[in-house]
Amino acid sequence: MPRDASTDKPLVELVNVTKIYPPDVVAVEDVSLRIYKGEILFLTGMSGAGKTTLIKLICRLETPTRGLIEVAGRDLSQISTAGVQRMRQKIGVAYQDFRLLDKQTVLQNIAMAMEVTYASTKVIRARVEELLALLNLSDKRDKLASELSRGEQQRVALARAAANGPSLLLADEPTGNLDPAATELVINLFRHLNEKNGSTIVVATHDPSIYAETEHRVMTLNNGQLSAHPNRSPRQIELFEA
């Protein structure tokens, strides 16, 4: 559900953001971007274009070399440690490399995200069951993460990111290892979160199948530079330029 860009305050705002990895790898270059509350945004681009870097910048896993990043109106360079912690509890991130704990079960991996918010065991249990059902993983609940296939691990990472009903979900290459059926489940989860929970969702992907038909905004990174995806409707371009 795209929002009217002119009235809403953006949930995420990047102003002329550049990220240079030492010594001189320019991963993101002079990017300005507004992401609005309730929006679903697709971030495309070739491998090495800077998608992951952009996502890490938004959840403050990396700090920009230049430029300003605001999340929910707060300048990330000014935010305290406790502030970052609070923010991360509200942002769900599904990492490209999953970052699961191999020696823990699927249930434990997902529960971790909710435990840090001190949710009760009962609430956690119910939520995990719900997510596993949505992602067709119910029979894997007590398996160790290391025993799962890549595609299954990918969905567990997504479930963990979605566990707290985050106001912002950052999904980095969420369908890279999935077949069309599983991809469909993931898209449905996004839609579910977006509609039921009002979550803002950013999806970094080079899988055209998941954004080909979408009415949502699609942006492309090219060598660290951001532009509207080619072949998009005038509405998309208009949104981007807002």
Partner 1 sequence: MQFLAYILRQTGKNLRQTWGTQVMTLLTVTLSVLIFAFFFLIYTNMLRASARLGDDVRLIVYLDQEVTEQMRPGLEKKIHDFGPVEKIVFVSRTEAFARLSAQLGKEKDILNDLGPDFLPPSIEVYPLKNLNDLTRISQFSDFLLTLPHAAKVQSGSDWLRRFGYFTNLLRIVVLLSGSLLIISMTFIVSYTLRLTVLSRQGELEILRLLGATSAYIRLPLLLEGMLQGLLGSGLGLTALYFLYQWIASRFSGPGFLKLFDFAFFPPELTGAILLAGVVLCTVGSLFSIRRFIRI
How many chain residues interact with ligand ATP (CB under 6 A)?
Answer: 13
CB of 23 to ligand ATP, least distance (A): 9
Residue from 13, 34, 96, 193 touching ligand ATP (CB under 6 A): that is 96
Strands 25-36 and 10-21: antiparallel
DSSP annotation of 132: H
Task: Quote helix, strand, coil % in the chain, to nearest 5.
Answer: 35, 25, 35
Q: Which one, 48 or 198, has the nearer CB to ligand ATP?
A: 48
149-168 residues near partner 1, rule: CB under 8 A: 160
Report if residue 205 touches Mg ion, rule: CB under 5 A: no
Largest Cα–Cα separation, the chain? 49
Token couple for 133: 């059902």
Interatomic CA distance for residues 20 and 53, integer angstroms: 10
CB of 217 to ligand ATP, least distance (A): 18
1-60 residues near ligand ATP, rule: CB under 6 A: 21, 25, 27, 45, 47-53
Interatomic CA distance for residues 98 and 101, integer angstroms: 9
CB of 67 to partner 1, least distance (A): 23
CA 92, 87, 90: angle at the middle one, nearest 5? 40
How many chain residues interact with Mg ion (CB under 5 A)?
Answer: 3
Residue window 70-99: x/- pattern of binding to Mg ion, with contact defined by CB under 5 A = --------------------------x---
Contact assessment for residue 130 and residue 196, using Cβ atoms and an 8 Å cutoff: no
Stretch that binds partner 1, among 20-28, 96-104, 138-146, 217-225 (CB under 8 A): 96-104
Give me the helix-helix angle, 150-162 and 106-115, nearest 10°. Answer: 20
Report if residue 115 touches partner 1, rule: CB under 8 A: yes
Residue from 52, 154, 220, 236 touching Mg ion (CB under 5 A): that is 52
Token couple for 154: 């990918």
- Where along the sequence are the contacts to ligand ATP (CB under 6 A)? 21, 25, 27, 45, 47-53, 96, 206
